[in-house]
Structure 1
């Protein structure tokens, strides 16, 4: 498999995070361009890759996860403003023929991200 994928796991409830809005941006000269806006499915994943290897370019990208909206939908009492409302992951693609999987493990108070397989 090649391209870019992601998934979101809700660490507070111990479940995949369904219906999280995820936006993908590409950076050129520090200017961000929105490439795609999608929602996670019931398994916390995006149904199709965010980018195929043919769509990937060398350079910097950003995934923006709207996790505040997700946790509000779970009726968790969040402060206003929420400690984590939108989680931004900015990363680089150095090989357009490689597979980039960027999982997000999240709670209202913290998150972890890594390059998965």
Structure 2
């Protein structure tokens, strides 16, 4: 069975994003269901997979990263309102037997992601 994982890389400092709050939602026809709250560790990763085995289902998901709060906690001076604040990554799981790694590469001015394994 597969698993879902993530990590955060702060490209303004070239280091892991430590202490970033993350929410994971499953998106259904009836709305979003909060599945998990997590905070990144000293390596910018979660201590365990966000989903794995029978909990990883085919479907649509959203990861929401509190990037603006992270940068504020780092003492980064950004104007209000923040340009990058809560980063929402909407993605699909097509094969629950595979591993899906959905990282966030972020600065106060931009972000990107990719599908890793």
- TM class by smaller structure: over 0.9
Aligned partners of 1:53 and 1:98 also within 8 Å: no
TM-score, normalised to structure 1, is 0.97
Aligned counterparts of 1:28 and 1:71: Cα–Cα separation in 2: 31
Q: Deviations over 1:64-99 (max 9, x none)?
A: 000000000010101111001000000001111110
| Matched ranges for 1:25-104 at <5 A | 25-29=25-29, 31-104=31-104
What SS does structure 1 have at the residue aligned with 2:84?
A: coil
What SS does structure 1 have at the residue aligned with 2:8?
A: strand
What SS does structure 2 have at the residue aligned with 1:97?
A: coil
Aligned partners of 1:16 and 1:42 also within 8 Å: yes
Aligned partners of 1:6 and 1:101 also within 8 Å: yes
Aligned counterparts of 1:104 and 1:53: Cα–Cα separation in 2: 23
Consecutive unaligned residues in structure 2, runs of 5 or more: none
**Offset, 1:56:** 1.1
**Offset, 1:57:** 1.2
Corresponding position of 1:17: 17
What SS does structure 2 have at the residue aligned with 1:90?
A: strand
